[in-house]
Amino acid sequence: MYIKRHIEEALKQAINEKGALCVTGARQVGKSTVLKALFSGRRALALDDSRLLRVALERPEEFFEQFPPPVFVDEIQRAPSLFPYVKIHADKTGEKGAFILSGSQRYEMMAGVTESLAGRVNLIDLYGLSTREIRGEDFREPFMPTAEYYASRNPKPLKYNETWEAIWRGFYPEIVESGTDWSRFYSSYARTYLDRDVSQLAQVGDLLRFEKFMVSMAARTGQLLNIADVAKDAGISQQTAERWLSILVASNIVYILKPYHNNVLQRLIKTPKAYFLDTGLASYLIGWDNPQVLQNGAMAGAMFETFVVGEILKSWANANGVTPNMNFFFFRDRDGNEIDLLIKRNGKLHPIEAKKHVSCDKGDIAAFRQLDKIGDMQRGEGCVVCMADDVFPIAAADMAVGARYL
């Protein structure tokens, strides 16, 4: 069963703009599936095939003679030697959309693009399924805590237990579409990720210790990144922990959210927050065997926040194919005032809190007032995303918003 992806419109537009279209995303988020569904008329080549990979590595000058464009090459980062030949063809013919490229290791992809394909490729980020996609909703506007957004949104009902079931199960297409056994899927996923992606990205001699590092990071999702504590838990040096974190980010397992700071508010912290991009994988690594254990556990609030940030991130990325790193921040000062997410848009900062409870009050938005002290940006409408069924006002333009509106 193929679940229609909201990013399809962005992909169809992007392929007609430049010589190459490059899609990045974590392993098994559905990159090849959506690309084959949209562009079925071209040859698809996967560099997981050792024979194809050997040709690409040993005789790259012959690869596109043997497999001429239009062509789709999956796991292109395994053969960076192909990038110059994509460039040669793009410069020679000026043909739009001749190459579709995809891969699960963003940094190596970016290195090849920066060196060879600058100005010749459209880069698209694909994440796991969104709740909108899973529920078959066509609404594709990026989430914004505004009256206009709420008026245009008509989401299906979402029960409290359904939300926690979704958070626990996760958002990889295979586990959503086929009903694959949860433990078996994530056990296989973690092992494949370690054996293939981690081993390829860096010389990690002790994969068991790297897995322990992953568990430590999962247990801190939605929290300020204290790399020294993570290193201590995993029994590695801080330098090694920093290098391993870059691997998790490079392979789209972890998302780093930057803090907002400026010259006006000197007491703002500059430490980022880290989020697992799939709550199901995080749940597996931590050891939660069912959604009830998750929703009643000490990390329920952090996991709900991880879910909310992830869904908002997907809504923006699916709208135009680009991760909104320049639009997303969080706020925290040295007095402990914190806002989970800030969306910067049109000269305004829109504050968003994530709370796992059903009812909200003014205490949940107390930190929003700190934004009034920021001199270079105006405070916009805000919200608390919670387990409520609908949208209702807390104070002025700040609303309580049910998770189904994400």
On whether residue 2 sits in a domain, the answer given is no
Whether 104 shows a pLDDT value over 90: the answer reads no
Element of type H or E holding 46: strand 43-46
On whether residue 153 sits in a domain, the answer given is yes
> Are 75 and 155 contained in the same domain?
no
The distance from CA 1 to its chain's CA centroid, rounded to whole angstroms, is 23
Whether 280 shows a pLDDT value over 80: the answer reads yes
User: Do residues 371 and 351 lie in contact, with contact meaning Cβ atoms separated by under 8 Å?
Assistant: yes
According to DSSP, residue 195 is labeled I
pLDDT in tens, 170-188: 999 999 987 789 999 999 9
User: Do residues 168 and 291 lie in contact, with contact meaning Cβ atoms separated by under 8 Å?
Assistant: yes
Long-range contacts of 230-234 (CB under 8 A, 24+ apart): 234/209
> Are 148 and 61 contained in the same domain?
no
pLDDT value of residue 290 = 95
Which tokens is 292 given? 């009830």
**d(C-alpha 368, C-alpha 324), whole Å:** 22
Find the mean pLDDT for residues 291-309. 96
pLDDT in tens, 145-171: 999 999 999 999 889 999 999 999 999
On whether residue 89 sits in a domain, the answer given is yes
Single-letter amino acid, residue 326: M
Q: What is the dihedral of CA 177, 181, 183, 186, to 10 degrees?
A: -30
pLDDT value of residue 208 = 84
Instruction: Give rounded-to-5 percent helix, strand, coil for the chain.
Output: 45, 20, 35
Find the mean pLDDT for residues 224-237. 95
> Are 89 and 141 contained in the same domain?
no
Q: Which of 76, 95, 125 is the last residue of a domain?
A: 125
pLDDT value of residue 296 = 94
On whether residue 269 sits in a domain, the answer given is yes
> Are 284 and 304 contained in the same domain?
yes
> Are 335 and 397 contained in the same domain?
yes
On whether residue 3 sits in a domain, the answer given is no
User: Do residues 90 and 120 lie in contact, with contact meaning Cβ atoms separated by under 8 Å?
Assistant: yes
Find the mean pLDDT for residues 333-340. 91
Q: Which of 95, 125, 155 is the last residue of a domain?
A: 125
**What total of structural domains would you count in the chain?**
2
pLDDT value of residue 204 = 67
Q: How far is CA 227 from CA 37, 236, 271, in A?
A: 41, 11, 10
Q: To 10 degrees, what angle do helices 227-234 and 238-250 make?
A: 100
Q: Which domain holds residue 73?
A: 8-125
Find the mean pLDDT for residues 325-349. 93
pLDDT value of residue 44 = 95
pLDDT value of residue 117 = 79
pLDDT value of residue 2 = 84
**d(C-alpha 270, C-alpha 277), whole Å:** 22
300: pLDDT confidence band, cut at 50, 70 and 90? Answer: very high
pLDDT value of residue 235 = 93
Q: Report helix, strand or coil for 125.
A: strand
Which tokens is 189 given? 């996923």
Q: Which of 99, 125, 151 is the last residue of a domain?
A: 125
On whether residue 1 sits in a domain, the answer given is no
CB-neighbour burial class of residue 326 (10 A; exposed 0-12, middle 13-18, buried 19+): exposed
> Are 258 and 341 contained in the same domain?
yes
For a pLDDT cut of 90, what percent of the chain falls above it?
76
The distance from CA 346 to its chain's CA centroid, rounded to whole angstroms, is 23
> Are 102 and 153 contained in the same domain?
no
> Are 210 and 344 contained in the same domain?
yes
pLDDT in tens, 25-81: 999 999 999 999 999 989 999 998 999 999 999 999 999 999 999 999 999 888 988
Q: Report helix, strand or coil for 179.
A: coil
> Are 105 and 141 contained in the same domain?
no
Helices assigned H by DSSP within 59-218:
60-66, 83-93, 106-112, 131-134, 147-152, 160-169, 173-177, 182-192, 199-201, 207-218
Which tokens is 34 given? 């959506």
On whether residue 360 sits in a domain, the answer given is yes
250: pLDDT confidence band, cut at 50, 70 and 90? Answer: confident
Find the mean pLDDT for residues 186-191. 95
pLDDT value of residue 106 = 65
pTM: 0.94
User: Do residues 231 and 238 lie in contact, with contact meaning Cβ atoms separated by under 8 Å?
Assistant: yes
